[in-house]
Structure 1
Amino acid sequence: MRTPLLTLLATAVLALAAGCATQPPTRPAGWSAPEAVVAPSSFTGVHGLAVDTQGRLLAGSVVGNAIWQVDRQTGAAKILIGGPEGQADDIAVGPKGELAWTNYLMGMLRYRDNDAAPMKVLAQGLPGLNSLDFDRRNGKLYASQVFLGDALWEIDRDGVKPPRLIAKDLGGFNGFEVGPDGMLYGPLWFKNSVAKVDPATGQITVINSEFKIPAAANLDGKGNLWVVDTVTGELSKVALANGRKTVVAQLATALDNLAIAPDNGLIYVSNMADNAVIEVNPATGAQRTLTRGKTAVPAGLKADGGQLWLADVFAYRRIDASSGEVTDLKRMQSSDMEYPFSLGLSAKHVALASWFTGTVQVLDRETNKTLAMLHGFKAPYDALPLPDGTVLVAEIATGSILRAHGKDWHERATVASGLAGPVQMTLGPDGALYVSEAAGNVVRVNLADGAKTTVATGLALPEGLAFTPWGSLVVAETAAGKLTEIDLAGNTRRTLADRLPIGLSGGPGMPPPYVPTGVTVDAQGNVFFSADRNNGVYRVRPAR
């Protein structure tokens, strides 16, 4: 039996321990070096593929603004043509080894005769310029617009004459190829079909209409058209003679393009959500992953309960902060998601924002079910669900913070205006909203009356921001490649980490923030950030 004294001592110890457990961490003396929670990977979303006359496997990235070269044996990848000129949604190899590619976001088609030759712009002013290919009999060059347009063009090889319009409103003639008969074979993205198009007349002949969303098609020279379906993840063979479809390999969803190696007939398939290139044996369906990442384009990031929630542009994911294990919650094309660049989190809701599509998607946090898909925002760079169920939206195009509320969040009210490029938002310990401005500031917004106070200036393109448990503010200064800790009360700053792989440039026509660097802090004071220059997710621990 315990004595009263021992009982009292035990009670006191337990009380002390409980009190210590609830005490927030104190300001650390410094910070440890960044450590990868999710390892870096190649690309930054991978799309068009081609095997050139040198036998090199080339892979294009739109968001990453580059053409990569992938070793077909080891999967090692390196940049062949950097940004912004290298931005490529599709790549085509000409009959003499020429190279042409589409700058999708810039609406341009670039070309060069060989590695040593200068680059030329053969066409421009065609938003959504997507796929292209050469007629190997005569060198003619064709290109299509998809998503930001819907048309097929013949491109002047000298870049002197304007493009010749072949057809409009085809239904999304995506990754196509010119056949030995001069016909163009490819998918009709919005019509669930693969078809051939006569470039002389624009006449369309459907070959097979048994697909969900066919993304690309290539000919094997044996009477077959090989097709990737981005929704189902299937690689299928379609016989040109009778249109019969045969599924040869089951891959992950979010497939984008394919290339057939002319030397051995192996098929290479790109997956934009996984930064992956997969090799498939067409005879057996056997697969080999050449290269793959756990994330695609990590951007908006939030921490809660030992988990990280990530807007990954081509996917929406959850990461175990301890193990780095990544769980897919939604993937592009196989879900209702629309290219999320930012993410906000509350106890009940998740909000995904896409400045590219002008949308904010509100999800049930527990079930991942979409509760509302809100369109019509003007470049929403961030969205933040509040405990009261409303959602704040930062519109960089209008310099405003809006509140979405009411039934299905369709009512909108302006909370604050006149901001100099609002990028990311976070709630402060005082209940106010703190917003990073692309102009170099952090602004405090009183949510009750919309009053604005500038609390930090002179920052180098600040993006993600989050408060620490001890009350300081951590901001990603992307133009300087560093994280800065700001003591707002004492008006002092210190560098938390520098020389970081953040601050990817979007190139001509793209807003300077481009892919927002996400910053979040957990209850223990660990700082996490997304790295858009190498696709990693990192943690910086407080050093005590």
Structure 2
Amino acid sequence: MKKKIVSVIFGFCFLVSGVAQAFTPTIPKVQDPAYGIRLIVTPSNLGHGTNGLNFDAKDNLYVTSVAAAATYLVNTDTGESSVYLAPPSGGADDLVFGKDGTVYWNAFFLGKVYKKTPDGKIVTLADDMPGANAIALGKDGRLFVTQCFLGDGLWEIDKSGQQKNRKIAEKLGGPNASMFGPDGLLYTPLWFKGQIIKTNVDTGERNIVAEGFKIPSATKFDSHGNLFCSDTATGEIYKVNAKSGDKAVVAKLSPHLDNIAFDSKDRLFVTNMNVNGVYQVDVPTGKVRPVVEEAKLCYPQGIAVANDPNGDTVYVADNFAYKKIDAFSGNVEAPLNGSSFTNTASISADGNYILMSGWFTNKVQVFDRKTDKLLYTVSGFKVVAGTLMLNDGSIVVAEHGAGDIVRVTDKEGTEKTVVTSGLVSPTYIAPAGQNAIYVTEYTPGRITKVDLNTGEKKTICTGLKGPKGIAVKPDGKIIVVVAGSHQLLEIDPDSGKSKPIVNNLAVGQPGEVRGGHPAYSFTGVAVSNSGAIYVTSDLENTVYQIFPK
């Protein structure tokens, strides 16, 4: 039997089993009486993907979130969290505490390294280190940082902030969360090589410790000198013999593990960036205890919707994974064939494909909607944003870096044509009838119509405060998410006049990426054939369904 959209406003209070979270979701305000609103996914607030973690001398746990640009203090017994390092500089991928209580961390997207002394003074130690990733202190107190993803290197950092930082090595293969071993060497997992290496930070000499991992994400030692490694691709934690390279699985969790840390009692903790997870792992038994409640979505951005026999199926680019949601039940599924580090989403004109793209990878990925398999990838864009497949199978792509709309007519990406230029921070794309598209331009706050045949541009609406996601209703009216005013607006494409449908949406995650898109997060909107509107909340990790009454 076909499921129908239930025209009832669900309460915005949730009972979360197991772990207490001091969190009250934002309550949107419906302005158009023709609509109601409900959440189809339980919201959460512990960042947008948990990344680094470490303990201070008092066994307090600190958990970082790069995308949320913040670091949190987490109670390991109750799971309650509070902001420790606030945005925009708190977006660490790793942090470490000195013996005097000074905390050192990196701001991954800002390309900076900081320290905060016990008296609260903050000092910038490096300000041109994109992708600053692992951070480690040697026994002698010297500080070292790696670059990964947005760079690839190993540096010694001057802790005073007065001297030039020293580059030790580069092009290592993706050095991630590292730690010094009992032998005084730095042990580092190489994300792109499947290896653990050890480095003499004085001479730069490197040797392979172990290999055969799929994607090793962290290497840490317990107090007895035992080496452990997490594998983000398999979700496994290994105990590694640092001399022979032999390894044994001690625990199996879900994929997307990021970092591990031991407290003073040698209890192992690990993060999972795909579900905002923090877990305690009992090494002897492999038993896993969730410290915080898993989030169904950790950083939803792009969204698409398809009308299936049993109701609407919603597709979400959840930053680290491709996920789909049953709009009736709210069930969230992360297909195993999904890809990592996605940012935006759109659905093709014929409904057979899902397109995802993101400035982090500068790729467009095309998925088969029925099998969820990744079919092909097109690379080589300049800060890619929204994308859309047309009826003829070609793809149009918004490039912030060039201010262009590009049309791609082959799967290899060799046949690219610039449709139009001169756009300012183009963000999302929506169809505008035959051979035309609507584009949101984030910085100037306007919506532009582009003729795909001639490249001619026409301004539809101006004065918007940070427009992001855009879609078209069955009646031809434009729907746009305006992040700066936290609104969902309906716009008449002929007159340009707008009216609010919903106010006070939990959208507009602040952030900054050196060389990235100024919109930072890509709040999305999609409209089903039934007229139901779906909006992602990049602040509270949920999806709104705005349904016609």
Residue 300 (structure 2) aligns with: 298
> In 2, distance between residues paired with 1:514 and 1:154?
30
Residue 130 (structure 1) aligns with: 133
SS in 1 for 2:133: strand
Superposition pairs for residues 89-104 of structure 1, below 5 Å?
Answer: 89-104=93-108
Residue 543 (structure 2) aligns with: 537
Deviation at 1:38, TM superposition (A): 4.2
| Matched-pair contact (CA < 8 Å) for 2:275–2:296 | yes
> In 2, distance between residues paired with 1:454 and 1:225?
59
Residue 258 (structure 2) aligns with: 256
Q: Which moved more, 1:64-73 or 1:344-353?
A: 344-353
Deviation at 1:288, TM superposition (A): 1.1
Deviation at 1:406, TM superposition (A): 3.2
Superposition pairs for residues 191-340 of structure 1, below 5 Å?
Answer: 191-262=193-264, 264-291=265-292, 292-305=294-307, 306-330=312-336, 337=339, 339-340=341-342
> In 2, distance between residues paired with 1:34 and 1:512?
29
Superposition pairs for residues 281-430 of structure 1, below 5 Å?
Answer: 281-291=282-292, 292-305=294-307, 306-330=312-336, 337=339, 339-346=341-348, 347-406=351-410, 408-428=412-432
SS in 2 for 1:541: strand
Letter in 2 for 1:177: M
Residue 141 (structure 2) aligns with: 139
Compared CA separation, residues 171 and 512, structure 1 to 2 (3 A): closer
- Using the size of structure 2 for normalisation, the TM-score is 0.88
Q: Which moved more, 1:58-67 or 1:28-37?
A: 28-37
5+ long unaligned stretches in structure 1: 1-26
> In 2, distance between residues paired with 1:415 and 1:147?
31
Superposition pairs for residues 94-173 of structure 1, below 5 Å?
Answer: 94-114=98-118, 116-135=119-138, 137-173=139-175
Deviation at 1:236, TM superposition (A): 0.7
Deviation at 1:383, TM superposition (A): 1.0
Superposition pairs for residues 471-510 of structure 1, below 5 Å?
Answer: 471-489=476-494, 491-507=496-512, 509=514, 510=516
Compared CA separation, residues 407 and 175, structure 1 to 2 (3 A): closer
Residue 450 (structure 1) aligns with: 455
| Matched-pair contact (CA < 8 Å) for 2:39–2:544 | yes
Identify the structure with the greater helix proportion: 1
Residue 18 (structure 2) aligns with: none
| Matched-pair contact (CA < 8 Å) for 1:232–1:253 | yes
5+ long unaligned stretches in structure 2: 1-30
- Using the size of structure 1 for normalisation, the TM-score is 0.89
Deviation at 1:491, TM superposition (A): 4.3
Q: Which moved more, 1:54-63 or 1:246-255?
A: 54-63
Aligned length, in residue pairs: 510
Deviation at 1:489, TM superposition (A): 4.0
> In 1, distance between residues paired with 2:130 and 2:64?
17
| Alpha-carbon RMSD | 2.0
Letter in 2 for 1:255: L
Deviation at 1:449, TM superposition (A): 2.6
Deviation at 1:141, TM superposition (A): 1.0
| Matched-pair contact (CA < 8 Å) for 2:376–2:411 | no
Give the percent of matched residue pairs that are identical in Structure 1 and Structure 2: 35
Deviation at 1:458, TM superposition (A): 0.9
Letter in 2 for 1:479: G
SS in 1 for 2:192: helix
| Matched-pair contact (CA < 8 Å) for 1:34–1:497 | no
Higher CA-based Rg: 1
Deviations, residues 230-258 of structure 1 (Å, cap 9, x unaligned): 11111011133443311000111111111
| Matched-pair contact (CA < 8 Å) for 2:300–2:538 | yes
